[in-house]
Amino acid sequence: MNSTHTSTDAYRRLSRRHFTKDFKRSVVEHLLSNELTVAEVAREHDLHPNQLCRWRNEYRSQQLETTSAKYQDTSFFPVTVTEQSLANQTMTIDERGSHRQDQTPLCQTSWNLNRC
């Protein structure tokens, strides 16, 4: 039996390839910025056209954001642990702009289940 290799053989590999979000985003932006078809861009990058369509959909739904962009609005608030709060096994959380203080027993927090 004579086996011939076609262009679709490039898609079939023994192991799965893993691509970074930066690579996926750059390929999709290349697709969207040019007058090229999905098949042409996929062929340029040795990808299956269905994979490129999936990445384009993820890009449009903003799932291909970088990690730093995704957590850019994340902020921390200060926590003060005092000897009294340790003795009472309570934790006081005072959020900025809030007039209310919540006191939570330490034994009920998920990170300190064995303390009580």
CA distance to 44, 91, 92, 105, per residue, from 113 (Å)? 54, 14, 17, 10
Rg (Cα) of the chain, in Å, rounded? 26
- Each residue of 22-65: pLDDT tens digit? 999 999 999 988 888 999 999 999 999 999 999 999 888 887 66
One-letter identity of residue 29: E
Domains in the chain with CATH codes: 19-70 (1.10.10), 83-109 (no CATH)
**The pLDDT of residue 1 is above 60:** no
pTM, two decimal places: 0.45
Please give the sequence-ordered ranges of beta strands (E in DSSP) within the chain, or none if there are none: 90-93, 102-105
